[in-house]
Amino acid sequence: MQMPPKMFSFTKLVVQDLEKTADFYKAVFGLTEMARVDAAVAGRKISEILFQPPFQGAANLILFKFLDREAPAQEEVILGFIVDDLDAMIERAKAAGGAVVDPPYDDVEHGVRVAFVTDVEGHLMEVVQLLAPAQ
């Protein structure tokens, strides 16, 4: 398979607790772990958990931990997810230790129903469900 010369490929979310955060994303979004890596970046030891992209050509999520320091502030990245059932996703997020920051509302201008939730470490996510087009 030939890859396009330029494309967005992955997001690395720097976290404090790899296992706890990985469990959250598996439980809430059904992500599947693809690999684990222990390596060094700029001379610093790191650990990563890579999740499989949801479909071929899609970007994937990687949880990343510097082993020599605490994770940065949780608001440095906002992850975006598209789901089929926003209410069910919110219930899964709460059950897995996440929290609702802004409850669902229709954003007709953008054609989505949207909510903002946090993961188990407080990282902010914007989660949308596409609205059915007006008939």
Is the pLDDT at 3 greater than 60? The verdict is no
Within-domain flag for 48: yes
Alpha helix (H) residue ranges in 31-71: none
User: Locate tokens 């470490």: which residue?
Assistant: 121
Is residue 55 a part of any domain in this protein? Answer: yes
> Does some domain include residue 2?
no
Q: Is residue 3 part of a domain?
A: no
Q: Over the stretch 29-69, which tens digit does the pLDDT of each residue have?
A: 999 999 999 998 888 999 999 999 888 888 899 999 999 98
CA distance 67 to 50: 17
Within-domain flag for 96: yes
- Give the chain's domain count: 1
Report the CATH number at residue 22. Answer: 3.10.180.10
> What is the residue range of 27's domain?
10-130
> Is 108 contained in some domain?
yes
Contact between 68 and 82 under an 8 Å Cβ cutoff? The reply is: no
In a domain, 122, yes or no: yes
85: pLDDT strictly greater than 90: yes
Is residue 121 in some structural domain? Answer: yes
